[in-house]
A and B are shown apart, each in its own frame.
Chain A
């Protein structure tokens, strides 16, 4: 933020410095504490479970994952905007996840409290693309499409244009994680293979035809 401000005129900075400071502070605060922002749809408890699920869809390893990209905020906002019709699916789906937790790991309180391996096993039991997800389970899911929906929403929230105003892909973390530089304009050379391109040369075999 301060680096960006260096390019701006002194007058602009003078007028806007309090706002700039407060925005920078807000961003730091958001990044460091778990749920500082007000959710529009989820309760804090729900948000914690949703975030834990997204963090298994795109986990944090040597690079940031769905958690750091703020995907839960994207989904929260999504459920009152583009994905309004999925509100009930999320309510029912989270209840399904909770009952599956109790069936599979009776001592674990909820999904977010389970270990990563336990969480993966729980999600796999909902994943119809996975062989073990297809087996009949004790309690049929109320919201059979929930896992596929949150999977897609996680990808959206991780990779959506960070300037789209949808709260996803915070600081372009998702783009950086897949090797996409943030930015709106690019200059050649773009990649490895065009770096030393000598420029267009007519094919010697065809020049006599022209």
Chain B
């Protein structure tokens, strides 16, 4: 029998208030409430159900049905702290119950051992705050396994010789291969590389209340109508609610963490849908608002006692932003691939995950995948070869020929942490609630650009080996738009150079915890969500143990 979903009063001092219901927040909510703790999740976006998801590209892509809206929540951007930031959309994230996990591509790589210890291995990198994690792959391994089994990940264990060790296979087989995957696999093997079935957080077999993937083709940036995509909304939130101890409160835009005279967090202050202000009292606060909104919230919570923002004695809140680098190439083939059918990615390779910096002249590594993640209108607008007419007979002919015959080769790679790369509060621009807008400062480390260009060359080599009739790449440029939001409240043992400790507790505020992409110390090679979720399961264990021992 399903327990009744509780409705807590804001004056009830619950055990935990969690800010954000995405990849991390959903897991923490489920884990903590399953342990008998009382949890309120405050989510700024709406609570949508799968029947409200749609394939309408205008609603989803142009009108930000599922995402942060640039008019309500504007951003500014600048390359360096010396520049004046200009108003421009700088980031996209899921703004609904389930967060970005609702609309993501669902690529689900684990980090490898190197990602946690690379700084020790390669030495200092000029212009970078490159550091080791205070935890190792082995610490996270049980939690990676837990993620794969609990949210539902399809894949084939040990199919890649570069895979890190694992304690258990995937809970279900890979999704059916796509034509792009077959082309990729054959060409990569011809080149001596090691392609393997992509691990995806999409069900290849049904689970209670959730269908296996029906290959509708509206996946990346869209919500899944059959709950095959393993978002927090599909996988964790229902379980959290079923405990009878967790309330998901949507349309609740948190803009301040309140603290008392002892420097302890007392609750979260938020706007409801009508823009009335409330404060939810709690014994402890966990912020899982993503790598942009988490540091913003800490900076918005500045007070007499914490003049530089909450938990910011290091000055590192918002700093060391990493987006992952990479590049996109396209290939057109003789016969129809019909890659518009199905999810995005069916084959990946990790041959370039670890490269020798002395040989390459840059630090970092990456992976390649074959994918088709472009819906029809977006394809006609952005995926035709350079020089194609924009209208008329030849436009239509090229569009009709290429749409079923095109695939992308995507390179995903390291971003080195740079202290100046950051999210901060814009001094001038305000959002619709009168709060300072997010300002992004970003200039890729020179090594990231070199690495991206090198990987794009490998993508082109692969397209040649595959016999593509036509190929082109987007030029590798310094990034100005953020999807992966990593590193902005990094984990570490030293309170001078990190914001949270390995328990995800902030160094400065004993009952304030942070867990999301902001916790990352390095960027991995792309595909951060699997690691965000492993961290969230691990953080749940740590925080629950602290709570049970009365140490919060």
- Tell me whether B267 is interfacial, beta carbon within 8 Å: no
Chain A interface bracket (under 10, 10 to 19, 20 to 34, 35 or more): 35 or more
Task: Determine which of A197, A200, A203, A210 lies in contact with B189 in the assembled complex, contact meaning CB atoms within 8 Å.
Answer: A203
Task: Tell me the bound Cα distance from A197 to B184 in angstroms.
Answer: 13
Are A194 and B181 also in contact (CB < 8 A) when A184-B214, A206-B194 are?
yes
Q: Are B156 and A200 in contact (CB under 8 A)?
A: yes
Task: Tell me the bound Cα distance from A127 to B395 in angstroms.
Answer: 14
Task: Tell me the bound Cα distance from A82 to B57 in angstroms.
Answer: 12
Task: Determine which of A151, A179, A191, A200 lies in contact with B391 in the assembled complex, contact meaning CB atoms within 8 Å.
Answer: A151
- Total contacting residues, chain B, CB less than 8 A: 53
- Tell me whether A155 is interfacial, beta carbon within 8 Å: yes
Q: Are A161 and B179 in contact (CB under 8 A)?
A: no
Task: Tell me the bound Cα distance from A163 to B339 in angstroms.
Answer: 21
Q: Are A156 and B57 in contact (CB under 8 A)?
A: yes
Q: Are B56 and A161 in contact (CB under 8 A)?
A: yes
- Residues of A within 8 Å of B376, CB to CB, are 159-160, 174-175, 178, 180
Q: Are B335 and A190 in contact (CB under 8 A)?
A: no
Minimal Cβ-Cβ distance residue in A for B174: A200
Q: Are A190 and B178 in contact (CB under 8 A)?
A: yes
Task: Tell me the bound Cα distance from A95 to B101 in angstroms.
Answer: 47
- Residues of B within 8 Å of A120, CB to CB, are 392
- Residues of B within 8 Å of A174, CB to CB, are 376
Task: Tell me the bound Cα distance from A192 to B177 in angstroms.
Answer: 12
Q: Are A160 and B58 in contact (CB under 8 A)?
A: yes
- Residues of B within 8 Å of A156, CB to CB, are 57-58, 377
Are A194 and B179 also in contact (CB < 8 A) when A155-B380, A160-B377, A179-B403 are?
yes
Q: Are B182 and A179 in contact (CB under 8 A)?
A: no
Minimal Cβ-Cβ distance residue in A for B216: A184
- Tell me whether B63 is interfacial, beta carbon within 8 Å: yes
The residues in A between 123 and 159 inclusive whose CB is less than 8 angstroms from any CB of B are 123, 127, 129, 151-152, 154-156, 158-159
Minimal Cβ-Cβ distance residue in B for A150: B391
How near does chain B come to A50, taking the closest CB pair, in angstroms?
15
* Number of cross-chain contacts by CB at 8 Å: 147
Q: Are A164 and B377 in contact (CB under 8 A)?
A: no
- Residues of A within 8 Å of B58, CB to CB, are 82, 156, 160, 164, 166
- Tell me whether B11 is interfacial, beta carbon within 8 Å: no
- Residues of A within 8 Å of B62, CB to CB, are 82
Interface segment among A2-10, A41-49, A54-62: the answer is A54-62
Task: Tell me the bound Cα distance from A61 to B393 in angstroms.
Answer: 8
Task: Tell me the bound Cα distance from A56 to B339 in angstroms.
Answer: 28
Tell me whether chain B's interface is mostly helix, strand or loop, or mixed. Answer: loop
- Tell me whether A202 is interfacial, beta carbon within 8 Å: yes
Q: Are B400 and A179 in contact (CB under 8 A)?
A: yes
Task: Tell me the bound Cα distance from A202 to B56 in angstroms.
Answer: 40
The residues in B between 331 and 365 inclusive whose CB is less than 8 angstroms from any CB of A are 333, 335-342
Task: Tell me the bound Cα distance from A185 to B197 in angstroms.
Answer: 22
Task: Tell me the bound Cα distance from A166 to B341 in angstroms.
Answer: 23
Q: Among B183, B381, B392, which residue has the most Cβ atoms of chain A within 10 A? A: B392
- Tell me whether A186 is interfacial, beta carbon within 8 Å: yes
- Tell me whether A14 is interfacial, beta carbon within 8 Å: no
- Residues of B within 8 Å of A158, CB to CB, are 380
Q: Are B396 and A161 in contact (CB under 8 A)?
A: no
The residues in B between 172 and 195 inclusive whose CB is less than 8 angstroms from any CB of A are 174, 176-183, 189, 192, 194
Q: Are B377 and A202 in contact (CB under 8 A)?
A: no
Q: Are B182 and A193 in contact (CB under 8 A)?
A: yes
- Residues of A within 8 Å of B393, CB to CB, are 59, 61
- Residues of A within 8 Å of B192, CB to CB, are 205
Q: Are A191 and B336 in contact (CB under 8 A)?
A: yes
- Tell me whether A177 is interfacial, beta carbon within 8 Å: yes
The residues in A between 196 and 210 inclusive whose CB is less than 8 angstroms from any CB of B are 197, 200, 202-203, 205-206, 209-210
- Residues of A within 8 Å of B218, CB to CB, are 161
Task: Tell me the bound Cα distance from A177 to B397 in angstroms.
Answer: 9
- Residues of A within 8 Å of B381, CB to CB, are 152, 155
- Tell me whether A18 is interfacial, beta carbon within 8 Å: no
Minimal Cβ-Cβ distance residue in A for B391: A57
How near does chain B come to A130, taking the closest CB pair, in angstroms?
8
How near does chain A come to B456, taking the closest CB pair, in angstroms?
23
- Residues of A within 8 Å of B333, CB to CB, are 193
- Residues of B within 8 Å of A209, CB to CB, are 161
- Residues of A within 8 Å of B177, CB to CB, are 188, 194, 197, 200
Q: Are B216 and A192 in contact (CB under 8 A)?
A: no
- Residues of B within 8 Å of A115, CB to CB, are none
- Tell me whether A106 is interfacial, beta carbon within 8 Å: no
Q: Are A164 and B63 in contact (CB under 8 A)?
A: no
Task: Tell me the bound Cα distance from A120 to B194 in angstroms.
Answer: 50
Q: Are A164 and B55 in contact (CB under 8 A)?
A: yes
- Residues of B within 8 Å of A63, CB to CB, are 396, 400
- Tell me whether B158 is interfacial, beta carbon within 8 Å: yes
Q: Are A192 and B337 in contact (CB under 8 A)?
A: yes
Task: Tell me the bound Cα distance from A159 to B336 in angstroms.
Answer: 19
Task: Determine which of A61, A190, A197 lies in contact with B342 in the assembled complex, contact meaning CB atoms within 8 Å.
Answer: A190
How near does chain A come to B83, taking the closest CB pair, in angstroms?
29
- Residues of A within 8 Å of B546, CB to CB, are none
How near does chain B come to A134, taking the closest CB pair, in angstroms?
14
- Residues of A within 8 Å of B337, CB to CB, are 190-193
Task: Determine which of A164, A180, A185 lies in contact with B215 in the assembled complex, contact meaning CB atoms within 8 Å.
Answer: A185
Q: Are A178 and B56 in contact (CB under 8 A)?
A: no
- Tell me whether B217 is interfacial, beta carbon within 8 Å: yes
- Tell me whether A65 is interfacial, beta carbon within 8 Å: yes
A-B contact pairs, 21 of them (CB 8 A): A63-B396, A63-B400, A82-B63, A127-B390, A127-B391, A156-B377, A159-B57, A159-B380, A160-B376, A161-B54, A161-B56, A177-B400, A180-B340, A185-B216, A188-B177, A193-B180, A193-B335, A197-B177, A197-B182, A203-B194, A206-B161
In the complex, besides A177-B396, A185-B214, 20 extra interface pairs with C-beta distance below 8 angstroms are A58-B396, A59-B392, A63-B400, A82-B58, A129-B390, A152-B381, A156-B58, A165-B56, A178-B376, A179-B338, A188-B177, A188-B215, A190-B178, A191-B335, A193-B182, A193-B183, A193-B333, A197-B182, A200-B174, A210-B158
